[in-house]
């Protein structure tokens, strides 16, 4: 996360099929506070603001996304303590973005219409490059990814 100036990273982004993410608003390991949110549940979302977002899973693609301004988060930390607090500002956006990852949603799915249209060619190029890398073996193909997840689940969750 920090190596690529990220402010959040969800477990599924690194092949771990569990519901948790880490976040640090500063994107710097020596600043701010790194927090872990296990089994997060968002409620009481209020207000709407549109801002630009990016994602470590889709480098160099950014677009405008509407998110709630404030929310209430319930989760657990690494010590098993309950987190139950109102959140606003940038951290509210990070929590929504990372929780979306846990639900199989990418920020691309939430792009405004204008952002989606503006990024159409770049997204097509990204997908074509990804598929080409899968064909050449420099990235795992879909069955290999599924097998890896199944192996992980049977080893650690079974």
SS3 for 22-79 is EECCCCCCCCCCCEEEEEEEEEEEECCEEEEECCCCCCCCCEEEEECCEEEEEEECCC
Candidate list 31, 98, 113, 151, residue with the active-site label: 98
Tell me the C-alpha distance between 122 and 127, whole Å: 9
Residue 98 is a catalytic residue: yes
User: Quick check: 77 and 35 in contact, CB under 8 A?
Assistant: yes
Residue entry with tokens 């968002």 = 42
Question: Which of the residues are catalytic?
Answer: 98
């Amino acid at each position: 996360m920090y190596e690529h100036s990220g402010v959040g990273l969800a477990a599924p982004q690194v092949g771990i099929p569990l519901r948790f993410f880490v976040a640090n608003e500063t994107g710097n390991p020596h600043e701010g506070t790194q927090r872990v949110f296990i089994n997060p549940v968002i409620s009481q979302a209020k207000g709407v603001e549109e801002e630009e977002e990016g994602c470590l899973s889709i480098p160099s693609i950014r677009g405008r996304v509407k998110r709630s301004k404030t929310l209430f988060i319930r989760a657990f930390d690494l010590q098993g303590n309950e987190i139950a607090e109102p959140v606003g500002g940038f951290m509210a956006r990070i929590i929504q973005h990372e929780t979306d990852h846990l639900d199989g949603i990418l920020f691309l799915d939430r792009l405004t219409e204008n952002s989606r249209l503006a990024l159409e060619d770049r997204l097509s190029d990204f997908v074509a490059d990804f598929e080409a890398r899968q064909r050449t073996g420099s990235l795992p193909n879909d069955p290999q990814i599924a097998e890896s997840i199944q192996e992980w689940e049977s080893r650690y969750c079974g």
